[in-house]
């Protein structure tokens, strides 16, 4: 077996650093190929939300007019990627979703804000009744706002052609995962272009998640990611950012940063929230309406 064939087996892809590294290896291995045939095997397991990242990588190959062949997909992964509509985008027949835990794979243009709203309502607010009824309205609102902050960040900053989203409810584990991926310029280039700096990807991500840090010119910002981080902390959730060769994670164990070998062609933001979070998010804040400005 050649090295290239080995690289095209994606095995045990979940949300670990090593799983992201496997996707990056797969991308690096074929990023310069044109008019080629790319063969892929997906073997247990494959976390549904990671189809957003895989879809982004496959689209990079397809934009170079390569053909993608799924040589082997293990039966349980076949069910997941059919149910979440992923395979619809990659040449397989569309199936009717019978799995209510799935949050569909979606490929949107950055200008498709209205479609994203419909998707959020159908997939996160009105679908999945069994999971959602357990969550308070305040929690649902916080999760939707967090997801929107990331979507809007990708719209404003990434210079991507498409934004890829996907997710999954885990009723038995009381959590929901949601992933937003772009194939734009990444945190590092965005920040270095703006400030003429030479930050590494990890330094760029760490800077961007700090409060009030923005690359926007002439207008303040930089609140979305720090609000998200604060919510993740209260919720006992997790956030991961993969951008180029940088990896950032924030969870119960605090912040951690690592570098990948090779680069992801854009940014992945992976969010995990607890659905059994009984904090009162509608509690009246101490801010008076007369004391905002």
Strands 238-251 and 175-182: unpaired
Q: Which of residues 216-255 bind another protein (CB under 8 A)?
A: 216, 218-224, 227
| Total chain residues near another protein (CB under 8 A) | 45
281 contributes a contact to another protein by CB under 8 A: yes
3-class secondary structure, 93:
coil
| Bridge partners of residue 270, in order along the sequence | 179, 240
Residue 227 CB, shortest distance to another protein, in Å, is 6
Measured from the CB atom, is 164 or 231 closer to another protein? 231
Residue 208 CB, shortest distance to another protein, in Å, is 11
Residue 142 CB, shortest distance to another protein, in Å, is 7
Strands 9-13 and 163-170: unpaired
- Give the DSSP per-residue string, 143-168: HHHHHHHHHHHHHHHS--S-EEEEEE
| Bridge partners of residue 70, in order along the sequence | 40
257 contributes a contact to another protein by CB under 8 A: no
Measured from the CB atom, is 18 or 217 closer to another protein? 217
Measured from the CB atom, is 75 or 218 closer to another protein? 218
117 contributes a contact to another protein by CB under 8 A: yes
| Bridge partners of residue 267, in order along the sequence | 182, 243
- Nearest 5°: phi and psi at 259? -110, 140
171 contributes a contact to another protein by CB under 8 A: no
- Give the DSSP per-residue string, 10-22: EEEESSSHHHHHH
4 contributes a contact to another protein by CB under 8 A: no
- DSSP run (H or E) holding 73: strand 67-73
Radius of gyration of the chain, Cα coordinates, nearest whole angstrom: 19
Binding mask 179-198 for another protein (x = CB under 8 A): ------------x---x-xx
7 contributes a contact to another protein by CB under 8 A: no
Measured from the CB atom, is 37 or 198 closer to another protein? 198
Which token pair is 263?
């680069």
267 contributes a contact to another protein by CB under 8 A: no
- List the one residue from 74, 148, 189, 262 that touches another protein (CB under 8 A): 148
127 contributes a contact to another protein by CB under 8 A: no
35 contributes a contact to another protein by CB under 8 A: no
Q: How many CA atoms lie within 13 A of 207 on its CB side?
A: 18
Measured from the CB atom, is 33 or 156 closer to another protein? 156
Q: Which of residues 96-115 bind another protein (CB under 8 A)?
A: 113
SS3 labels along 269-291: EEEEEECCCCCCCCCCCCCCHHH
Measured from the CB atom, is 221 or 262 closer to another protein? 221
- List the one residue from 127, 138, 171, 262 that touches another protein (CB under 8 A): 138
Say how far apart CA 171 and CA 100 lie, in whole Å: 10
Residues whose CB falls within 8 Å of the CB of residue 80, separated by 6 or more in sequence, listed in order: 46, 48, 51, 99, 102
Where does this chain bind another protein (CB under 8 A)? 113, 117, 138, 141-142, 144-145, 148-149, 151-153, 155-156, 191, 195, 197-199, 203, 207, 210-214, 216, 218-224, 227, 281-285, 287, 289-290, 292-293
């Amino acid at each position: 077996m050649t090295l290239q064939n080995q690289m095209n087996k994606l095995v045990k892809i979940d949300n670990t650093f090593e799983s992201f590294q496997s996707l990056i290896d797969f991308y690096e291995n074929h990023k310069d190929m044109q008019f080629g045939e790319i063969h892929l095997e997906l073997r247990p397991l494959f976390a549904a939300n990671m189809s957003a990242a895989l879809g982004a990588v496959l689209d990079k190959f397809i934009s170079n007019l390569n053909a993608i062949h799924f040589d082997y997909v293990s039966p349980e992964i076949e069910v997941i990627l059919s149910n979440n509509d992923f395979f619809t985008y990659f040449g397989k027949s569309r199936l009717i979703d019978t799995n209510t835990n799935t949050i569909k794979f979606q490929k949107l243009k950055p200008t498709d804000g209205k479609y994203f709203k419909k998707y959020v309502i159908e997939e996160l607010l009105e679908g999945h009744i069994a999971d959602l009824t357990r969550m308070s309205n305040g929690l649902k609102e916080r999760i939707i706002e967090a997801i929107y902050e990331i979507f809007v960040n990708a719209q404003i900053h990434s210079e991507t052609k498409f934004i890829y989203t996907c997710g999954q409810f885990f009723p038995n584990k009381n959590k929901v995962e949601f992933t937003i991926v772009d194939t734009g310029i990444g945190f590092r280039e965005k920040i270095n272009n703006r400030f003429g700096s030479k930050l590494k990807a990890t330094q760029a991500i760490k800077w961007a998640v700090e409060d009030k840090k923005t690359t926007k010119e002439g207008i303040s910002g930089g609140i979305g990611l720090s609000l998200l981080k604060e919510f993740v902390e209260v919720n006992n959730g997790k956030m991961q950012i993969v951008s180029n060769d940088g990896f950032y994670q924030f969870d119960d164990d605090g912040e951690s940063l690592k570098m990948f070998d090779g680069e992801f062609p854009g940014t992945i933001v992976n969010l995990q929230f607890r659905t059994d979070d009984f904090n009162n998010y509608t509690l009246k804040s101490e801010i008076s309406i007369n004391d905002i400005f």
